[in-house]
Amino acid sequence: MDIRIRPKKLCGSINIPPSKSMAHRMIICASLATLSCDHDTNIENIAMSDDILATIGAMRSLGLEIEKDLLEGGRYRLKVSGIDGSRNDGLADDYLTIDCGESGSTLRFIIPILSVFAKRYGLVNYRLDTRGRLLQRPLDPYFDILDREGIDYNIDGTSLYIRGMKGFSQSSYEIDGGISSQFISGLLFSLPLMDFDTDIVIKNRLESRGYVDMTLDALYKYGIEVENIDYKTFKIKGNQSYKPVKASVEGDYSQAAFFLVANALGNKVQIKGLDPGSLQLDKEIVDIIDRYDKYYCNEGGDRCIASDLAIGIDATNIPDIVPIMSLLATNYKYPSKISGVERLRIKESDRLQATSSQLRILGKDIEIIGEKEETSLLINGNLDRGNKDQSTGDDYYLVDSFKDHRIAMTLAIAATVSDKDLVIKDAHVVSKSYPNFWDDYKKLGGEVYEFDLG
């Protein structure tokens, strides 16, 4: 679906969606709790984004019973019941298919969990189906483990095949902390269910440490103990059991970031449902906006400069909010440099290229500099380059989401400060993380129309 947005300020209040990161973790913990008890486990305040549906579907494929009850405001309650072993009868020699969609969390969390199901239920052959660029993203830490365990695997197109899965036998796992914290989280979910003690040793710098904190917090809520030694070693006792608890998912700062930045750009959106004490890394957007406010002040509605220093932002731990941070930076006069962004090349799109190219279409001065770990975005803010890279039509800019939900939502906020309409290609991709985004945008007064590009 392509849409056309008219430049208009947003005003009103919204209930921000529940945290996708926490929802993934709670669904997995609740599912694993049913392996050791007969009690149901309930989770309140779930939004049915594409990624969350993938995790629910994955656990259902493994035999878990998960019911959805629609609540007020379009949110859901999940009731997770015990595993239905009969669902998997006769699959010992065939492949059990799990659709991970385009969800990196689903894929990376589920692979170690398969070893638990292989040992307990004899499910040894799996086909993990994916979409988009998901299998282009790194899986090497898991492949190293599978190689050491003698487990066969291969990638064919958009599917990962695993043959002869079994309970992991190693007592120690060395994981590169600089690739993705999701590998650490995946092991943290599964290793407490082994019948021996294990540890995870982190080599190199642990990036996105806050996501590991979120995993540890979820594990603690569900009765699992992990000893964290300065984020360098995690010691896990074996023979633990997840406990059934009633949980509720807090609001999502990564989604709130779009409207928080919108407010910094002159919109007036009241955002409900955020926890000021949240462990979510993307909460840092609040401090980043405050930093800009300290550099620049408002007098009579105009920006005035409080400092001539450039702003530097390290995005190593907050890659998901780089596109919307970049838009924020383009609307201030002095330069900004956003570092720690190399991993954005392997997201749903090459998010570095997508962000810079689409903001240039809107006349913003933004470029990618450096290579590998030195890669950064350099933004000269509040300057119309006067030679926009592309413009289609006399009265609108044609921009592309690159089928990336965060690019689409960034462009929607950019429309509120645009001098012309924006036409966004593949705007429907917001369903990956924020299925009601366009409804909320319209509720706030945004003018959005379907558009036929022919």
Q: Is 104 annotated as a binding residue?
A: yes
Q: Is 208 annotated as a binding residue?
A: yes
Contact call for residues 304 and 343 (beta carbons, < 8 A): no
Q: CB-based contacts of 174: which residues, under 8 Å, 6+ apart?
A: 200, 201, 202, 203
The whole-angstrom separation of Cα 179 and Cα 182 is: 9
* 320 part of the active site: yes
Q: Where are the alpha helices (DSSP H) in 34-103?
A: 50-61
Q: Is 390 annotated as a binding residue?
A: no
Q: Is 181 annotated as a binding residue?
A: yes
Tokens in use for 399? 């921009």
Q: Please report where in the chains the tokens 């406010």 appear, as a residue.
A: 293
Contact call for residues 29 and 242 (beta carbons, < 8 A): yes
The whole-angstrom separation of Cα 146 and Cα 189 is: 17
Which residue in 320, 400, 404, 421 is the catalytic one? 320
- Give the pairing type, strands 41-46 and 335-339: unpaired
Q: Is 432 annotated as a binding residue?
A: yes
Q: Is 401 annotated as a binding residue?
A: no
Q: Which residue in 204, 163, 137, 166 sits closest to 351, CA to CA?
A: 137
Count of residues in the chain: 454
Q: Is 419 annotated as a binding residue?
A: no
Q: Is 13 annotated as a binding residue?
A: no
Distance of CA 240 to the CA centre of its chain: 28
Q: Is 137 annotated as a binding residue?
A: yes
* DSSP E strands, 84-197: 96-99, 126-129, 152-156, 159-163, 172-176
Q: Is 351 annotated as a binding residue?
A: yes
Annotated binding site for phosphoenolpyruvate: 20, 104, 137, 182, 351, 406, 432
- List, as residue ranges, the binding site: 20-21, 25, 104, 137, 180-182, 208, 320, 347, 351, 406, 432
Tell me the catalytic residues.
Answer: 320
| Annotated binding-site residue numbers for 3-phosphoshikimate | 20-21, 25, 180-182, 208, 320, 347
